A and B are shown apart, each in its own frame.
Chain A
Amino acid sequence: MNTAADISPAIELKGISKAFGPVQANKDISIRVMPGTIHGIIGENGAGKSTLMSILYGFYKADKGEIFISGKKTLIPDSQAAIAAGIGMVFQHFKLVENFTVLENIILGAEDGAMLRPSLAKARQSLTDLASEYGLDVDPDAIVENLSVGHQQRVEILKALYRQADILILDEPTGVLTPAEADQLFRILNRLREEGKTIILITHKLREIMDTTDTVSVMRRGEMTATVKTSETSPAGLAELMVGRKVLLQVDKVPATPKQTVLEVENLRVVDEKGVERVKGISLDVKAGEILGIAGVAGNGQSELLEVLGGITSGTGVIRVNGQDIDLTGNSSDGQSRRARGIAHVPEDRQREGLIMDFMAWENTAFGYHRDPAYQSGILMNNAAIRADTEGKMQRFDVRPPNPKLTAKNFSGGNQQKIVLAREIERNPDLLLIGQPTRGVDIGAIEFIHQQIVALRDQGKAILLVSVELDEIFALSDRIAVMFDGQLMGFRDPAKTDEKELGLMMAGVVEEEAA
């Protein structure tokens, strides 16, 4: 790697500032990325990473500051200009036309003329070249929706390379990948680096930064707090830079002491609205005082499992709580009856389900429990009582700002999650269903949320945890089940398994369990 001083950086940002109203999303940010390196940008949600990259890709215009590409001052008013400057972006949510072929997606927006045939032929040729050069094998004639998520991502990378990108920006690229797919992605990125491409990797996963990047910049509250050589830092050091204080990356917990079985599930099946079977005959049990973690790549039926347990959808099979059957199909199969049976549910998507974003915090505290007699006074709701209850909950769960009249959407992700957790945990449930407890939550709040979950377990409650973050599964679970394609691939003891084995199970491969 050549980083001699006479080589100009592939990208240099000087004093970039951007404000949205009173919110300073980027404050005087300067950064130098040398060609042929992988540069990580890490920071909590809302630290301003995405804003910075959107400025670089021409989606936003910076209030102040300059952009230099290969030493030349460049104006990037829109994404066309970014592409012309050799910048390619792979978004977290792919921008692909699902019912087009790979080839059609690649030329979309980069057609040479009104007729498609010459463009397609040219793209086919360069696709073969790119595939052999970087190890990016994709069938050019496959329909995108039939490809795996990992392959769809490759199409996105190919799209950028086809447009002659020398600088590739990847926004949270591993969020939807299995560990094995992520490994493949990083192999490809290494190949690209060897061929002289410059890569910017945006992530909140410390491990990815440590494993793959050459240099890393840390962002906090819109500011660039540090840029360091990856080899000279440590995960704990980075976490401290991100949050501004020391962080416990490991949850403190004593071994579980499981007691009686609280939740029993037998041969549970869920068919979605399109008639596709999403949960295919699952059986499991959760005991009082233990956390059962369900690992798996997003979209393998975990969400549907949680929803049917939480009474949002119907299914077939048997669910027993404290030995009593729960009605899965009848009229009583809704969230209200579940709550009455001692089941609390922190849903995966707090913005769509767990909260009404336009409701104030106190209205959200009553959400789902709005029929609680304590919240009524005659035919009216006892708003004063709900507000008082909310104030207490906000204090105990350290919600900031502790203002019950603030609208939910004006809280940060971590504080929104705390509002949901306070509501569900303080109901003292026998069983807590909890999905993606720390998705979009800042590291400081993750610590707190994990502690609350473990504390609930230690009170002898049963907890079913669904998470796509393997680190979180390992940190919290007393037993791990892996879900793939609507089925459970098996149970593992977290002390006796590793990421490699779970990763294989998440891809549907089960090794023979040692007897």
Chain B
Amino acid sequence: MEKMPAWADAVLVPIISLLLAAILSALVIVAIGEDPVAAVKLMVQGSLGSTYGWGYTLYYATNFMFTGLAVAVAFHARMFNIGGEGQAMLGGLGVAVVCLYMPWPHWSLALIFATLSAAAFGAAWAFLPAYLQAKRGSHIVITTIMFNFIAAALLNYLLVNVMRPKGSMDPATAKFPETTHLPTLHDILEPFGIAFSKAAPANVSLIVAIIACVAVYFLIWRTRLGYEIRAFGHSESGAKYAGISPVKITVVAMLISGGLAGMMAINNVMGEGERLIMNSTEGAGFIGIAVALMGRSHPFGVFLAAILFGFLYQGGAELALWTSIPRELIVVIQALVILFTGALDNMVRMPLEKLFLMFRKGDA
């Protein structure tokens, strides 16, 4: 018998965790002498109160959907890919190469090829850690985090020495050509008569991210590869018995994971930056871990969690802008949410399970 109904597991646990994080955050805000109610109002207003706010919230959410999916796919194969950051950086390189060095007649073609290129670069960056894990048993957590540093160094070198336009003092590529600029939500919604902020960076990548969510759902739960990934993730000895190659699944799952992380670059590099700069990922690779944890590695959960973290990011930025609550405290609030929804999951789950069991006994 299951300990509690699926809806409680999927909905109740994260909501209670969030509430706890919110209460603790409120206490912290009170402690520094600010009004928590006003702070929440400001956050909601700033991130959801206008199409401008929504545009930023959804822009961040798009990043987190890609990186969250990346972590989730690896989770299903029981691997902890914390190299999303590096894979996303390399994805940026993939986007820049496509946009800068190939002529594109229309953004839609450019988007398709940039997406493929970003995924290929991200996947390639995940390949070596995956191969080392599969063949040599080098732990994926160690290797992927080291690859994050290597990616940063590589990007640094390329931007300073190779891709920087002559005469520029800025370690960044040249601006991408006009034909590769992606339509923003403003451009997309305008024909439908819906007014959306022109300044907000949310763009067509959001739709790609949602398609990715659906695709990952089908991959994991409906395809044979997904079946093999999940079987391997639950039991390596079982996978061997069934004739599922651990080496193959380890590598393939990490390639998909790295590819998804890399795809994030169509949002931040191609959609928003329109050129490749240093540190364009802004830690989204790491947020992806929290998003995947909170979303229970389910694509729909990842979708919702990504929007929540988008809200926290944008709302946090607003707080820092309009109040004396320091930027660092925003990070603390975000960390509390990660802590409660990810790390302290069992703290909420176990009492809740007991509660459900008590009620059930009452029924019997």
Listed in ascending order, the chain A residues whose CB lies under 8 Å from chain B are: 21-22, 310-312, 334-339, 345, 347, 349, 352-359, 363, 366-368, 370-371, 376, 379-381, 383, 407, 410
Contact = CB atoms under 8 A, between A and B. Distances in A.
Contacts of B242: 335-336, 367-368, 370
Nearest to B218: A380
Given A339-B243, A410-B2, A352 B235 contact: yes
Given A336-B243, A345-B241, A381-B222, A370 B234 contact: no
A121 to B, nearest CB: 45
B49 to A, nearest CB: 42
B357 interface: yes
9 contacts: A21-B1, A312-B241, A335-B242, A352-B235, A353-B240, A367-B231, A376-B224, A379-B223, A380-B218
A335 B234 contact: no
A349 B224 CA distance: 24
B364 A354 contact: no
Interface in B221-258: 222-224, 227-228, 230-231, 234-235, 237-238, 240-243, 245
Interface residues of B, number: 24
A353 B224 CA distance: 19
Most buried by A among B3, B238, B360: B238
A353 B241 contact: yes
A355 B234 CA distance: 10
Contacts of B243: 311, 334-339, 368
Contacts of B222: 380-381, 383
Contacts of A311: 243
Nearest to A410: B1
B361 interface: yes
Interface string B124-165: 000000000000000000000000000000000000000000
B240 A367 contact: no
Given A356-B235, A380-B218, A410-B2, A368 B241 contact: yes
A370 B242 CA distance: 9
Nearest to A19: B361
B1 A357 contact: no
Contact of A359 (B218, B231, B361): B231
Nearest to B226: A381
Contacts of A336: 242-243
B227 A352 contact: no
Contacts of B241: 310, 312, 335, 345, 347, 353-354, 368
A195 to B, nearest CB: 45
Contacts of B238: 352-356, 367
A452 to B, nearest CB: 20
B160 to A, nearest CB: 44
A412 to B, nearest CB: 12
Interface string B330-348: 0000000000000000000
A435 to B, nearest CB: 11
Interface string B156-183: 0000000000000000000000000000
Given A354-B241, A381-B224, 18 more contacts: A22-B361, A312-B240, A337-B243, A347-B241, A353-B237, A353-B240, A354-B238, A355-B238, A356-B234, A356-B235, A356-B238, A366-B227, A367-B242, A368-B243, A370-B224, A371-B224, A381-B222, A381-B223
A352 B237 contact: yes
Contacts of B2: 407, 410
Contacts of B230: 356, 359
Interface in B6-63: none
A220 to B, nearest CB: 20
A366 B231 CA distance: 11
Contacts of B235: 352-353, 356-357
Contacts of A347: 241
A338 B234 CA distance: 23
Contacts of A352: 235, 237-238
B245 A357 contact: no
A380 B1 contact: no
A4 B85 CA distance: 78
Contacts of A339: 243
B358 to A, nearest CB: 9
B130 to A, nearest CB: 19
Contacts of B224: 370-371, 376, 381
Contact of A356 (B231, B360, B364): B231
Nearest to A353: B241
A357 B234 contact: yes
Contacts of B1: 21-22, 410
B81 to A, nearest CB: 21
B237 A370 contact: no
Contacts of A355: 238
Closest A-B pairs by Cβ, 6 of them: A335-B243, A336-B243, A368-B242, A353-B241, A21-B357, A334-B243
A48 B243 CA distance: 37
Contacts of A353: 235, 237-238, 240-241
Nearest to A340: B243
Given A367-B242, A368-B242, A21 B227 contact: no
Contacts of B361: 21-22
A338 B243 CA distance: 9
A21 B3 contact: yes
Nearest to B231: A356
A148 to B, nearest CB: 27
A338 B2 CA distance: 35
Contacts of A334: 243, 245
Interface in B86-126: none
A353 B234 CA distance: 11
A363 B360 CA distance: 28
Nearest to A333: B243
B33 to A, nearest CB: 47
Nearest to A363: B227
A506 to B, nearest CB: 26
B86 to A, nearest CB: 31
A380 B360 CA distance: 38
Nearest to A368: B242
B227 A381 contact: yes
